[in-house]
Amino acid sequence: MNILETISQRRSVRSFSSTIMDRREMESVRGILERAASEPGPFGARIRCKLHVDTVGSGEARLGTYGLISGASAFVLPILAPAPGAMEDLGWVVEKAVIDLWAAGWASCWIGGVFSRTKAAGLAGASGEEYVPIVVALGKEAERRSFMDKLIARASRSRQRRALAELCFLPDGSALNGDALASPWNIVLEALRVAPSASNKQPWRLVWDPLALRWMLFLDEDRFYNNSLGNTHLQNIDMGIAMYHFAAAAGCAGLKGSWTPLVEREGFFAEAGGEGVKSMIDMGRKKGWEPIAMWR
């Protein structure tokens, strides 16, 4: 199974078998987590990922997921210190691990809003300014889904995604048309389209500059939602997930490039340069979007 197939097949699982990982399985999972976190994300933040396996009591209860997750005894606990772009880098690193874990036979579910961050930080051994913004439930999928699992999936329409025309645009603000989407980039855009996001809000927007052959990624932020958890910004994490899907699919398709973070200094973006980039940023901001990064 290549990464494009894994990305298209992976889905969130909330109902897990109660079987606890054995030592060999734990070592394998830790190896996947270590490889995913071995390099920083595009913004340069280092993320540590700890595997917590509760071999005695209910790991679910200790993390306070309040019945939203059934049967999970293993959790991935990503640890970071506050820094510009750290949320995006967490999304990148953890989604890389989640995709590799799915390929290795492990089901998972991102948990951003309902769990005890204090308990998670203690289990992870976070120190100083470090904290655990999200956790990922991990295990083998149960044969039968719980009632709560079905209810959440139905409420969030978790398998439904926006059409690419609602996510991808040209520099003048018009939707990217069918001819443009028929290019080799269509594979990459589809990989981004199916990326998971908090409450399935899909906050990413892409603008394609056909003359300079570059993409600009924007955040269409729900400000109340994204700032309701203090220093944890779920939609910025979503952007890192989207960036990883895009980069992984581009690599698989043989399309060269990398993400350049956009850092604002004195009212403009120092890493961007050029009037073409400025006009794309201005167009996005008129739509209420914030620039995140540029692929070139």
Residue position matching structure tokens 């719980």: 146
Residues 139, 179 share a domain: no
159 belongs to a structural domain = no
Find the CATH number of the domain harbouring 41.
Answer: 3.40.109.10
Q: What's the gap between Cα 5 and its chain centre?
A: 17
Q: Tens of pLDDT along 150-207?
A: 555 555 555 678 999 999 999 999 998 766 665 789 999 999 999 999 999 999 999 9
Residues 58, 134 share a domain: yes
92 belongs to a structural domain = yes
Residues 244, 210 share a domain: yes
Domain stop point among 130, 151, 172: 151
How far apart are the C-alpha atoms of 186 and 4, rounded to whole Å?
Answer: 12
Q: How many structural domains is the chain composed of?
A: 2
Residues 130, 11 share a domain: yes
How far apart are the C-alpha atoms of 130 and 147, rounded to whole Å?
Answer: 35
pLDDT at residue 159, rounded to an integer: 62
Residues 250, 145 share a domain: no
Residues 26, 144 share a domain: yes
Q: Tens of pLDDT along 11-45?
A: 999 899 888 899 999 999 999 999 999 999 999 99
Domain stop point among 151, 182, 206: 151
156 belongs to a structural domain = no
Helix (H) / strand (E) element for 230: namely: none
Query: E-assigned strands of 74-118?
Result: 74-79, 107-111
- Residue of higher predicted confidence among 59 and 131: 131
Residue position matching structure tokens 């300014």: 129
pLDDT at residue 266, rounded to an integer: 44
Residues 11, 140 share a domain: yes
Residues 173, 145 share a domain: no
**Percent of the chain beyond pLDDT 70?**
85
Q: What is the mean pLDDT of residues 62-67?
A: 59
Position 271 confidence tier, pLDDT thresholds 50, 70, 90: low
Residues 172, 121 share a domain: no
Position 294 confidence tier, pLDDT thresholds 50, 70, 90: very high
List % helix, strand, coil for the chain (3-state, nearest 5): 40, 20, 40
Structural domain of 7? 3-151
pLDDT at residue 70, rounded to an integer: 83
pLDDT at residue 96, rounded to an integer: 98
Q: What's the gap between Cα 27 and its chain centre?
A: 24
Residues 147, 16 share a domain: yes
In sequence order, what are the residues at sequence separation of 6 or more whose Cβ sits closer than 8 angstroms to the Cβ of residue 152? 14, 68, 158
Residues 190, 139 share a domain: no
Q: What is the pTM of this model?
A: 0.91
